Structure 1
Amino acid sequence: MRYAVGGRDALDGLERGTEEEIAGFVTAAIGENAQALKDDWRDQIRGARLGDRLANSVRSAVYPRGRSSIEAAALVWTKAPNILDSYARGATIRPVNGARYLWIPTDDVPKKRQGNRLSPAEVEARFGRDLVVIDPKNHRLKTTPSRISRGVAFAGFSGLAVRKASGRWRNATANQMTKGHRSYREVTRQFVVMFTLLPLVTVTKRLDLDALAALADGRYPNLLNKHWR
C-alpha cells in the first residue's frame, strides 16, 4: 500500500539549466504530484464510505527531506495497510487464534479517545459485567433500541440507561429499573446490542489503486513543465 512518485526520465528534452534550478523544478513537481495523489486516495476512500479516519491514514513525504534534488522522489502510504488492502483487493476475513466468531461492534459500543470502538473485553470492563450472547430468534431483539444487521448471534446488555449529557449508555440505577418510580426508563428493560457475531465477513473491492497510480504517472510531465516555466 505504498506508491513512489518519481520521474527523472521526464527531464529528457527539456531546456538545460543549472543543476540547482533543475533540482528545484523537479522537487516542486514531485511534491505537488505527491500531494495530489494523497488527496485523490483520500477522496476515493471517502467516496467508498470508509470514513475520515481511514482517509486520514494516508500520508506523503518528499525525499530527500528539506532540500531540492534532481533525484527527488515522494512516497505516499497508509498507516492502515491491511484494512485498505482488503478494500483494494476484496477479501474474506475470518476469526483468528481459534476464535469461533468475529465480533462486529454496533454503533452502541462506546468509542476510545482515538475514535475506534472498544473491544468486547474493554466493553465488559467498562460496564463491569459479562456480555450476554443471544441468538437471532430471541424475543429481546424485537424491541432493541440498537441498529442490528444479520448475524448468527448478538452480544449486549439489558439494564442500561442513556446519559443525558453525552447520550452514551451506562449501567442503570436501581430506581431507573424500578417500574413506577419517577426515574424509571422503559429502555432499561430493553436489550442493547453491542456486537454482532459472524463466522466470517466478505469485503468487496471498493478502491482502485491502479487508477490512482495511472493518474499520478500521467500528471507528472505536465507538473514538471509547469514548474520549469
Structure 2
Amino acid sequence: MSAYTLSRRLAAEFLGTGLLVCTVVGSGIMADKLSDDVAVSLLGNTIPTGAILVVLITILGPISGAHFNPAVTFAFWLKREIKLPEAVKYVILQILGGITGALIAHVMFDLPVLQTSTTVRTGVAQWVAEIVGTFGLLATIFGGLKFRQEAIPMLVGLYITAAYWFTASTSFANPAVAISRSFTDTFSGIRPVDLPGFITAELIGAAIAVYVIGWLLTSHNDQTD
C-alpha cells in the first residue's frame, strides 16, 4: 500500500513525464541550434535525457514508482503489481504530462506552440530497435528492483544514455514520449503516422521482458517460498 494518495501519485506521473519530455525536446532544440553536426546534436540530446531521469526517478520514485512510461505501467500490470483502473489513470496522466512538456519546450525556445512532426521514423529496423530498447529498459528496472533498488535512478539514466546510441531508433522505449514527440517538428520529433509501429513495438518489448526477465530473476529460493 502506497504512503501517497492516488491523486499525488498521478500528479507525480504527470510532472515527471512532463519534465522528461520537456528535457528531451528542449535539449534537442538547443543541440540543433548549437551544432550542424548530427552526431554532436544527438550527444547534446542524450546527456540531458539520461541526467534528468536520474533526478526524476530519485525525487518522484518514492511517490508514484516513477513509471513516466505506459510501457512500464503495462509491464507492472502484467505482473499484477498495479490494478487496471489505476494503470489506465497512470497512462492518461503520463500522456497528458508528456504533451504538456513538449509544448512548454516550444514556449521556452520561442517556437510555435502547436506543431506536428514531419520526421520519418518507420520500418522494421526502427521497430526492432524499439523492442530491444524497451526490453532492455524493463530488464534494467526489474534487475534493479531485485538486486539494487537504491541504484535504479542511476541504472535507468545510464541505460537510456547508452540506448540512444546502440539502437537505430535512439530508443524512445516509451509510448507517452513517442506520442508527445509527434507534437514537435524539431530535432526529436516523430510523425504521428509512425506512432502505431513504435507503440506496438514498445509494448511487445515490455511484455517479453516481463516473462523472460521474470523467469531469469526467479531463484531456487523464490520457487520454494
- After TM superposition, the score normalised by the length of structure 2 is 0.24
Please identify which structure carries the higher helix content.
Answer: 2
- After TM superposition, the score normalised by the length of structure 1 is 0.24
Please identify which structure carries the higher strand content.
Answer: 1
